[in-house]
Amino acid sequence: MTFPAAPGAARQPGTARTREAAVLNRIDHVGIACHDLETAIARYESVFDVTVASREIHEDQGVREAMLRLGEGPGTSWIQLLEPTGPDTPVGKFLARRGPGIHHVGYRVANITAALAAIGARGVRLLDQRPRHGSMGASIAFLHPADLGGVLTELVQAALPFTGPA
């Protein structure tokens, strides 16, 4: 797998980046910090007619979450509602500083290990040096917001679909 040159890097005239070579495939989800998960779920369900597809508690990340599906099939995107498990967690600190709202943007990648290597080689600081467990069995890793215009960025490699017993 090859990745395109960093923005601003010299490229042969007339050559363009190909879709297959892009590090990011699409927006996977938008993470939204909230004080009360149940209230946020009720609001999103009543305003947007979406339903909760998954609920999880990630003790290691200090959050309770709900994933709300947008669309069907391979192009599905998500809204991830995040409630901190305590004030000293990353989302708890975010809420204290900024209040409720967009916490991060998650981008789908085909190979998270290769994406981390390519992005790190381009000078972006990696908050996670290697992937960790995320929502719905995905592998995730975060990138430093100071290197990406103030946006906390999450890379997401979806879990392989279950195909049944071998």
Note the pLDDT tens digit of each residue in 28-85. 999 999 999 999 999 999 999 999 999 999 999 999 999 999 988 878 899 999 999 9
Q: How far is CA 138 from CA 8, 11, 16, 107, 159, in A?
A: 32, 34, 31, 12, 5
Q: Give CA–CA dist 104/75, Å, rounded.
A: 19
CATH architecture of 22-157: Roll (3.10)
Boundaries of every domain in the chain: 22-157
Q: Give CA–CA dist 46/51, Å, rounded.
A: 9
Question: What's the predicted TM-score (pTM) here?
Answer: 0.83
- Give me the residue label for tokens 């590090």: 23
